[in-house]
A and B are shown apart, each in its own frame.
Chain A
Amino acid sequence: MKGTYLGEFEEIILLAVAILSGDAYGASVTNEIEQQMGRAVNLGAVHAALHRLEEKGFITSQMGGATNERGGRRKRIFSVTALGIRALETIRQLRNQMWDNIPKPAGV
């Protein structure tokens, strides 16, 4: 299924949104990923991925409250949908299944 395919970066973003549940927006997701993965991420890439995920129906969004750091600008708060949760679970299951299939070396 082309429409619901999750790319690696998309998967990471989706996970970050899930972690930050309720407080996920562009800047916080960027920070979360930078901290978790220890690498620099462009805001553009994050926004593009969020946009795609929303189009695919894995996350939804609504405009949230404003904070001072943002100069009074509102944030768009993202949250994972049931479809998004199921997609994450499927991926995890698939990975686990594959891990299980790796033959264990003798003696371990």
Chain B
Amino acid sequence: MNSHPETKPPKWANKLLHLFCTSDLIEEIEGDLHELFEERLKYRGEKTARFRYIIDVLSLIRPFAMKRRKLSYPKPTLFGQAMLKINLKIAFRNLWKHKAFSFINVMGLSVGMSACFLIAMYVHFELTYDAFHKKADRIYRLATDLKTPSETLNYSISSWAFAPNIKSEFAEVEAFTRLATRNYLVRKGDLKFKEEKTVFADSTFFKVFDFQLIKGDPQTALKDQMNVVFTEKTARKYFGNGDPIGQTVLLGEDGIAATVTGVMRDIPQNSQIKGDLFVSMSSYTQRFNKGVDQNWGDFGAVTYLLLKPGIDPQKLSAKFPTFLQNHAGKMMLEQQMQMSLIMEPLLDIYLDSPREAEESGSIENVNIFSIVALFILLIACINFVNLTTARSVERAREVGVRKAVGAPRSVLTRQFICESVLLCMIAFIIAVLLSALTIPFFNDLSGKIISTGILDSMPFVGGLFACAVLIGCIAGIYPAFVLSSFDPISVLKGRFSASAKGIFMRKGLVTAQFSISIALIIATIIVYSQLDFMRNRDLGFSKEQMLVISSQTRPERNTFQESLLGISGIKSTTASSRVPGSKSNQAYSEIENAKGNMQTGNLEVYSVDFDFIEQFGLKVVAGRTFSKNFGSDSSKALVINEAAARMLGFHSPQQALGKKYKQWGREGTIIGVVKDFHFKSLQESITPLTFRFLDWWNGNQLSVKISGGNLKNTLTSIENQWKLHNPDRPFTYFFMDEFFDRQYRSDERFERLFFYFSILAIFISSLGLLGLASYSTMQRTKEIGVRKVMGASTGSIVGLLSVDFLKLVVLAFIIASPLAWYAMNSWLKNFAYQTDIKWWVFAIAALLSCLVAFTTISFQSIKAALMNPVKSLKTE
């Protein structure tokens, strides 16, 4: 009945049908298709039949015919939803069953994680200084090295004339901006403040840097003379919520009117450039200090160059020596000095530049903290691995049963990894909460606003999450393999005893933990003793009971000074340009040296009055100090320190007396030498120093020595006198000892951070030890019972249980101390004056760690030793 027996429907269409069509429909559908094909073949011809066949097959590609219908008869899957659900359920049950254990485990991990989290934020903050400028990679700071016969000075500043000339001579430079920070009095109506961060900036300031103007035009805001741009915060201080644009403020002592031309967003925390208000540079170079622009020898501004894209800074700086020779060659020859220009990439300045800066970080500290963070995390992970594997015995039977009913190893491995990831997730949630709570403390501790809250640090939270999953997997792998490797027959048959290898591994890990903790303890003690050493070292001058007022210069200062002498409680007063701990100030000087030549150099200068040396308790080792009895002292005399005498080649201070000098327009002789004293922080060695008598234009630091007793009353009397004499200026003062110790603030922060993190480390290690000890005592419950029955004392049992672990701590100490000694020795090299590393530091660390370990273990061991043997023998 078939006229074309050989004609068959297209094969590929049939294959396609089999590919997608579900098996329980294929028979009827294929049947229908074939029947229709035969019929069409008969009445319509082959072509139509084939074509319709294909169309029909394609039209069958619909949901109802698809293979997904298989799902109604599912095969068991290896890692389907159901299995995951079971895994999670069992994991939760396990956690719940061993609450104390889980708590220790999760606590250790989450504390470690949040410590790591905070440190990561800190490190990121430090590493991204100034990175918010879009053109940061093209911005360079122009620094100067000054070489004189006496020394080489590494300035971060450069001369006023450099930048404008570089810009006009080198096409590679797109723009430059110079910044000079000064301390200015700013007045607006009744409001008056000393603005320590008044910055003169070139009009290109907003072109080079990405500081944002909220109001005003970035092109012109700092263009004309006496234009001022306020930061938001400063603007609020002076103008409240009003619009500051176009308003007038009075600048400086003389109250020169300046117009507010812009308000900028507050400068980000991680900006090296700080400032509260910015004044147009033209006000300085064309008004306050006219002509300074043409002065090649006047160093006073920090200069930033913006290079055009694609310029090689090396090639540009190679042209600088010739440039300097052309412009300043004559001056350099006259003053016997050699200048060289260095371009420092903006992004490297904060962490890497050794030059003086308002704020600088240390790549070393960043490294140290990164290492500490890793260590803490490592300790936490070790805890985790230890505690999990220690419990393997308990779960051995479970594994045995699972294997007996047919669980393959891969399923078990997955189950245990699943458990550890779950634990890490819980730890992650706690860690995030913990970090959110501790961010304010951490900001306080580090002295910076690292983060304004957890919500602002979401990328870090994401990172921590990834980290937690990773830790869960990595820390879970070892226990998972150990647990899943148990032989079901031996495990189910009888008691399973932990392998010697596993015990060795756990002990090794505990030793590693304690080594890290002990090293951190040693480091903390050494950091502390170095700081203690610096705080208590005899600086060679007296800083106690000394008040320093920022005053005016003569003659206002003199009348105020006289008025103070009437107040009881004030011993003496003295005026000077600087006090110990102030910023460095150097003068080009020529002094006759031991060979009789005039040696040139830039020396530190203190301009002082008659009483300074006496009031600060400096010892005169040769000659005399400034005296009213010698009329020429105020214009001809110079006092130097021992370091300066040594630099000039004199073997004894006496030899320096009567030698000639030239400095800042004065000529005369050296009249005295004072004993070296620490006028800078103890991180630096004592450098040559000269004292000259006050000029009429300087000496605005008024130091007041007060006798003990009623400080508050004395202060009030001083303030009253101040208001009487200077009604339009704020009364600002500081205490000498606090001011000097301020230099150690960053070291103190370092100390505190170290302190807290080593406490954390030892805490986490102890948690691990506690878990391990409790586990091993549990294992030996029966043994302890037998021993007690046989007459062992409580003490001997406690000793028995503790000695194993104490051995590990001792081993850890032996490993940690040489490493810690080496690391701290190199840290101490940063300080010019350093304390010795004493043997008792190690003794304390050893004692402390043994004590902590012993206390931790004894929680468990004493409990076990006191247990009634009847009870303990009944177990199992």
Give the Cβ gap from B33 to chain A, nearest Cβ, in Å: 6
Residue of A nearest to B32 (CB): A26
A107 to chain B, nearest CB (A): 48
- Does the CB pair A40–B65 fall under 8 Å? no
Q: How many residues of B contact A (CB 8 A)?
A: 24
Q: Is the interface of B mostly helix, strand, loop or mixed?
A: helix
Interface residue? B132 (CB, 8 A): no
For residue A96, CB closer than 8 A to chain B, the reply is no
- Whether B60 lies near A47 (C-beta < 8 A) is yes
Say if the beta carbon of A69 comes within 8 Å of chain B: yes
| Chain B residues in 8 Å Cβ range of A48 | 62, 64-65
**A30 and B32 contact, Cβ closer than 8 Å, known pairs A40-B52, A43-B56, A44-B56:** yes
- Is A70 close to B, CB under 8 A? yes
Query: Quick one: which of A57-93 are within 8 Å of B by CB?
Result: 63, 66-71, 73-76
Chain B residues with CB below 8 A from A68, complex form: 1
Contact assessment for A73 and B39 in the assembled complex, using a CB-CB cutoff below 8 Å: no
Of B1, B27, B29, B32, most A-chain CB atoms within 10 Å = B32
Q: Determine the residue in chain A with the shortest Cβ distance to B56.
A: A43
Residues of A near B18 (CB, < 8 A) are none
- Judge whether B31 and A75 touch: CB under 8 Å: yes
Question: Given A42-B56, A43-B56, is A71 in contact with B31 using a C-beta cutoff of 8 Å?
Answer: yes
Interface assignment of B61: CB less than 8 Å from any CB of chain A = yes
Q: Is A45 an interface residue (CB 8 A)?
A: yes
Please state if A69 and B34 are interface contacts (CB–CB under 8 Å): yes
Q: Does the CB pair A70–B34 fall under 8 Å?
A: yes
Q: Mark B47-85, 1 if CB is under 8 A from A, else 0.
A: 000001001111111101100000000000000000000
In Å, the complex CA distance between A51 and B63 comes to: 11
A79 to B514, CA, bound (A): 82
Question: Are A73 and B56 also in contact (CB < 8 A) when A27-B36, A47-B65, A67-B35 are?
Answer: no
B642 interfacial contact with A, CB 8 Å: no
Determine the chain B residues whose CB is within 8 A of the CB of A52 once the complex forms: 64
Chain A CB within 8 A of B611 CB? no
Residues in chain A near residue B34, CB distance under 8 A? 69-71, 73
Does B28 contact A43, Cβ atoms closer than 8 Å?
A: no
Given contacts A27-B36, A31-B36, contact A45 B31 (CB under 8 A): no
- Alpha-carbon separation in the docked complex, A26 to B65 (Å): 14
A63 to B32, CA, bound (A): 13
Report B-chain residues with C-beta under 8 Å of the C-beta of A45. 59
Distance in angstroms from A47 CB to nearest chain B CB is 6
- Are A43 and B31 within 8 A (Cβ)? no
**Residue of A whose beta carbon sits closest to that of B48:** A40
In Å, the complex CA distance between A42 and B32 comes to 11
Q: A31-B36, A44-B61, A48-B64 are in contact. Are A70 and B55 (CB under 8 A)?
A: no
Which A2-36 residues have C-beta < 8 A from chain B?
A: 25-27, 30-31
Residue on A with the closest CB to B38? A69
**Which residues from chain A contact B52 at a C-beta distance below 8 Å?**
40
Min C-beta distance of B55 to chain A, whole Å:
6
* Cβ of B620 to closest chain A Cβ, rounded Å: 107
Cross-chain contact A26 with B29 (CB below 8 angstroms)? yes
Closest-by-CB residue of B relative to A70 is: B31
Q: Which chain B residues lie closer than 8 Å to A31 at the CB level?
A: 36, 39
Q: Which residues of A contact B64 (CB under 8 A)?
A: 47-48, 51-52
Are B33 and A75 in touch, CB under 8 angstroms?
no
Whole-angstrom distance between the Cβ of B61 and the nearest chain A Cβ: 7
Cβ-based interface call for B398 (8 A):
no
B737 at the interface (CB under 8 A from A): no
**Residues in B whose Cβ lies below 8 Å from that of A25:** 28, 32
Asked if B30 is an interface residue, CB under 8 A from chain A, the answer is: yes
Distance between Cα atoms of A48 and B63 in the complex (Å)? 9
Q: Given the complex, which residues of A lie within 8 Å of B30, measured CB to CB? A: 73
CA distance A42 to B53 in the complex (A): 9
Assembly CA distance A51 to B66 (angstroms): 13
- Among A43, A45, A67, chain B packs the most CB atoms within 10 A around the CB of A43
Decide if A27 touches B27 in the complex (CB within 8 Å): no
A44 contacts B27, C-beta separation under 8 Å = no
On whether the beta carbons of B32 and A27 are closer than 8 Å, the reply is yes
The chain A residue sitting closest to B31, CB to CB, is: A73
> Which residue of chain A has its CB nearest to the CB of B53?
A43
* Closest chain B CB from A31 CB (angstroms): 7
Are A75 and B39 neighbours in the complex by a CB distance under 8 Å? no
User: Which of B28, B31, B36, B62 contacts A30 (CB under 8 A)?
Assistant: B36
Q: Select which of B28, B36, B61 is within 8 A of A75 by beta carbon.
A: B28
* A67 CA / B38 CA spacing, docked (Å): 12
CA distance A66 to B52 in the complex (A): 23
Write the chain B residue with the least CB distance to A42.
B59
Nearest B residue to A26 via CB reads B32
- In the complex where A27-B36, A30-B36, A31-B39 touch, is A44 in contact with B31 (Cβ < 8 A)? no
* Contact indicator B32/A43 (Cβ below 8 Å): yes
Min C-beta distance of B38 to chain A, whole Å = 5
Given A27-B36, A30-B36; A73-B58 close (CB under 8 Å): no
Cα-based distance from A83 to B305 in the complex (angstroms): 89
Contact A75-B32, Cβ < 8 Å, known A31-B39, A40-B52, A69-B38: yes
A69 touches B35 (CB 8 A): yes
- Given contacts A51-B64, A74-B28, A76-B28, whether A44 and B58 have CB atoms under 8 Å apart is yes
When distances are taken between beta carbons in the complex, the residues of chain B under 8 Å from A44 are: 56-62, 65
Alpha-carbon distance A27/B35, docked complex (angstroms) = 7
A10 shortest CB reach to chain B, Å: 14
Cα–Cα, bound, A71→B39 (Å): 13
In the bound assembly, the distance between CA atoms of A52 and B59 in angstroms comes to 16
Sample 29 A-B pairs with CB under 8 A, ordered by A number.
A25-B32, A26-B28, A26-B31, A27-B31, A27-B36, A30-B36, A31-B36, A40-B52, A43-B32, A43-B59, A44-B56, A44-B57, A44-B60, A45-B59, A47-B29, A48-B65, A51-B64, A52-B64, A66-B31, A68-B1, A70-B31, A70-B32, A70-B35, A73-B28, A73-B30, A73-B34, A74-B28, A75-B32, A76-B28
- Besides A47-B60, A47-B65, A48-B65, 9 other CB < 8 A contacts? A26-B28, A27-B33, A27-B36, A30-B36, A42-B55, A43-B29, A43-B33, A44-B56, A73-B34
- Chain A residues at the B interface, C-beta cutoff of 8 Å: 25-27, 30-31, 40, 42-45, 47-48, 51-52, 63, 66-71, 73-76
Closest 4 CB pairs of A and B: A44-B59, A73-B31, A26-B32, A42-B59
